[in-house]
Amino acid sequence: MTAAEQARRLTVEIFRFNPQDPDAKPRTQRFEIDESPYMTLYILLTRLREEQDASLQFDFSCRSAVCGSCGMLVNGRPMLACRTLTASLPQHIRLYPLPVFELIGDLSVDTGRWFRDMVQQVEGWIHERQPFDPAAPEERMSDDESLAIYESDRCIDCGCCVASCGVANLKPGFAGPAGLNRMARFMMDPRDSRDDEAWFDVVASDEGVFGCIGMMACHDVCPKELPLLEVYSYLRRKVLAASIAKKR
């Protein structure tokens, strides 16, 4: 970081609106703050709240890109505030809440409800093959399978992909990038009893993978760099194969 960058005075434009206040109207508020070395948006927002406006609402928990609470639109792009250094941003920073999700206030959105609805829609839990026996040894899984499942399970439910998705922004029933990833995760799981046919109507519909129009934003904005485009092509090919097998 050069001396010039450290000396920057940042202008931060923040979306302000409290939906619980009947008199409130959505607006943006401009703040000015001196940049400090290694400042993240998390540090910036915390300082703004401590020093300038205590009513500013935003979500944080882990500060290390694990909890997925701090997704927001940073100059038009969904990003995690905790892992975004202000030094990588221009002097004028615009912060808006993630679209798609219900607004709690200012930059805080309710991703939890969206994700719960999605999980119920795709039934994102193990449908066990036989009743669980706590005394029996666990069934073995191949390394490849467990690695593939682990890769999909790295999703932190931050909602950046959902917010960047054109379809999720327009169609509330669409499972969204995170939902498609969740489908693939349980389709790959050998412990799950659902076969291709059982998955077919969930995955193949316009609320599943064929709702996707291939804008690819989800893949580009994912803070965990999940291979989402590969996941979708896996789902597409899998569903096509299942459909052909069914007709035979």
Contact residues: other proteins, CB under 8 A: 5, 18, 20, 49, 54-55, 57, 73-77, 83-85, 87-90, 99, 102, 104-105, 108, 110, 113, 120, 123, 164, 166, 169-170, 200-206, 208, 210-217, 219-221, 223, 225, 229-230, 232-234, 236-237, 239-240, 243
| Minimum CB distance to other proteins, residue 11 (Å) | 14
Tell me the C-alpha to C-alpha distance, in Å, between residue 223 and each of 5, 80, 93, 192, 218: 25, 7, 19, 28, 10
User: Which is nearer to other proteins, 153 or 229 (by Cβ)?
Assistant: 229
Tell which residue, 46, 30, 41, 32, has the closest CA to residue 86: 41
CB of 62 to other proteins, least distance (A): 15
Q: Which CB sits closer to other proteins, 138 or 179?
A: 179
CA trace torsion 93, 36, 29, 64 (10° rounding) = 70
Token pair 């400042």 is found at 39
State the DSSP code for 12: E
To other proteins, the closest distance from the beta carbon of 137 in angstroms equals 28
**Shortest gap between Cβ of 58 and other proteins (angstroms)?**
11
Helices (H) and strands (E) in the chain, counts: 10, 7
Separation between Cα atoms, residue 36 and residue 203, nearest integer Å: 47
Identity of the residue, 33 or 242, whose beta carbon is nearer to other proteins in the bound complex: 242
Report residue 17 as tokens. Answer: 């609106």
**149 versus 203: smaller Cβ distance to other proteins:** 203
Position of tokens 């917010």? Answer: 163
State in angstroms the smallest separation of the CB of 67 from other proteins.
16
Least distance to other proteins, CB of residue 89, Å? 6
Tell me the Cα Rg of the chain: 21
Work out the number of other CB atoms within 10 angstroms of the CB of residue 221.
21
Pick 66 or 104: Cβ nearer other proteins: 104
Q: Which of 151, 182, 156 is nearest to 66 (CA)?
A: 156
Q: Which helix (H) or strand (E) holds 125?
A: none
Which residue's CB is nearer to other proteins, number 129 or number 139? 129
